[in-house]
Structure 1
Amino acid sequence: MEQVERDLQRRLDRIQSRVENLEFMEARDAERQHEGLLFEALARFVQGLADLLHRSDPQVEHIALEISSKISDPGIRRQLSYLPPLLVAFSYHEALTSGTEAYPPLDQYVSAAARSTYLAAAEALTESDLGPLTSWVRSNRQDTRLLVDMWMFRSIYIDGCRYFHYVPSAKVAWDNLIRLSQEKGLGHEDRINEIMPKLIDVRDEEDLIMYFE
């Protein structure tokens, strides 16, 4: 009788272990899907905001290309030709050179590899004339901070790019962007609410959704 009970208990333990493993795998998959959704929402918002800024002031694209053309490292040169990482690098550059500016608020959450990339790009900016960019940033301080923070959030959730491959709904993306801003106390909620309607159902030349639907 005792042997039967022991055998039964072992079977129950194996079943419980399988159930726990299944629950763990389901929770992990759900977390990965959520990270993927966040990454996709952030990537599309960043692209949309960058496009809006380029359209409102075409000169900023020329500024980015002019700065990046002076960078000797080809990898950093490609990186800094795009406005969002350029603004992140500029934020770090300001912190390193001014003695009064702090690192971007999300610096404490990024990986060591991401921080190393940002700092290398910031140091490379010493090769360029930053006067025009400095003036532009001062005139667009709110959107600059928003773009920097959203790009850094994107790097925090970079692993999510492997788990999500379709256009997130505008409402879900909108809610998550607001939540991220609130959780980290960034104060971007009002500006996100102003920008998101401009990024809904925008289509490219092939009639594909560019940002959100």
Structure 2
Amino acid sequence: MVDPWEKKPVRIVCISDTHSMHEEIDDIPDGDVLVHAGDCLGRGTLFELDDFNYWLGELPHAHKILIAGNHDWCFERYPDKARPLVTNAVYLEESGVTIDGIEFWGSPYTPRFRDWAFNVDRGEKIASHWAKIPETTDVLITHGPPEGIFDEVVGPDCGMSVGCADLAKRIDSLHLKAHIFGHIHEAYGYGVRAKDGVKFANASICDKRYRAIRKPIVIDLVA
């Protein structure tokens, strides 16, 4: 027998790092909220963004959330032109939105690496951005990972953890239900942390060779 008072889970479909190859994604699951955790673009142009926004409009999800990533230059260089182009999603940049009782917060910043968009020095500067995350946040969306969670790179630095220590520290002070991110393509994955039940998803669709071969990650949450 179905309990009429039981809350129905909110289904969140997570993607990231599509790099203008969104048309190549196979089988995007339906859900209540589609979250894109940054790097929707390849070269960071307004033309690419317009195309991506059109694609978003063809998806069936009732709610869509987008943050920028380090490749999404137009949001940093031309915010007054880029933001109005996003008509088929809620764009978050150190801001939040509540959907079906779940509080989402999005931020594009990542630790400095070769001076990409939204790069900030590690330490006090980037910590000041994480300090803005509200205590009431349920789902955190950042472009990059926290230190030690789906953040290892391969190649010459094989096994090296490159996530943000200050972000990890801030997350430990919150009571999140989930954290969605991307950025480190080779560290794609999903897991639930044993100590607090936080669901972590590195939803990078592109692999290290920029091939759009990964599947979206689905998270079910109850408000």
TM-score, length of structure 1 as denominator length: 0.28
Larger radius of gyration: 1
- Higher relative contact order structure (alpha carbons within 8 Å, sequence separation ≥ 6): 1
Q: Point out the structure with the larger strand share.
A: 2
TM-score, length of structure 2 as denominator length: 0.27
